[in-house]
Amino acid sequence: MKRIELDIVALSHSVTQSHNYAVVLGERRGQRRLPIVIGSFEAQAIAVAMERMVPNRPLTHDLFKNTLDTFNIELREVVINNLLDGIFYARLVCVKSGEVFEIDSRTSDAIAMAVRFDCPIYTYDFILEAAGVVLEDQEDEEGVARPQPAPQPVIDSSALETYSAESLQVRLQEVLEAEDYETAAKIRDELKRREQKQ
């Protein structure tokens, strides 16, 4: 079966399920997109890694990465290998001392680990055929392709207290530049709360 490499192209609230999020993967050499509904915890785990934020204490996925690193296990790639009844299945392809191991994983957790290890994400053509959507190039009136907006990682405002002050300051600047004033206000409130405690 032909494997297709994917990139994370967006991370946002799910339109169909209000309490969930959607991570959108796009094929590296093509127009198809693969939207996957994930939970808020996994969305936060992916966003934290994409933003290079450093929580005060390791999140679950950071702990798992630290454990693999400690035992010299490399996460070589993530493969979204099946789709059954609307549920995606994935595997972590790990290497230790030249031996390859495959570990079953929820797709959202696998993506969160791929971001931390900076390893490729693959799927198969039959999965993109079944669940992918094709996005046409958006062109302006002169026929010139317009750049797509960069994905805006989601930060769960209820978990702001888990981030270091330095990470919050960095994120504050980013959301202000993106004109996301609602998130900026929440981050400022958290920073003020910490100042008052000192």
pLDDT at 179: 60
Residues 6 or more apart whose CB falls under 8 angstroms from that of 195 comprise none
pLDDT at 56: 82
Nearest to 7 by CA among 127, 114, 159, 130: 114
pLDDT at 80: 97
pLDDT at 127: 94
CA gap 57, 62 in Å, rounded: 9
pLDDT-flagged residues of the chain (< 50): 138-153
pLDDT at 101: 96
pLDDT at 158: 57
pLDDT at 19: 67
**Angle between helix 165-177 and 181-197 (nearest 10):** 150
pLDDT at 168: 77
pLDDT at 60: 92
**The token pair that represents 190 in the structure block:** 């958290």
pLDDT 10s digits, 100-151: 999 999 999 999 999 999 999 999 999 999 898 886 554 444 444 444 444 4
pLDDT at 57: 86
Residues 6 or more apart whose CB falls under 8 angstroms from that of 183 comprise 155, 157, 175
Q: Are 154 and 44 a contacting pair, CB within 8 Å?
A: yes
pLDDT at 53: 84
CA gap 25, 41 in Å, rounded: 18
pLDDT at 66: 95
Domains delineated in the chain: 3-134 (3.10.690.10), 157-197 (no CATH)
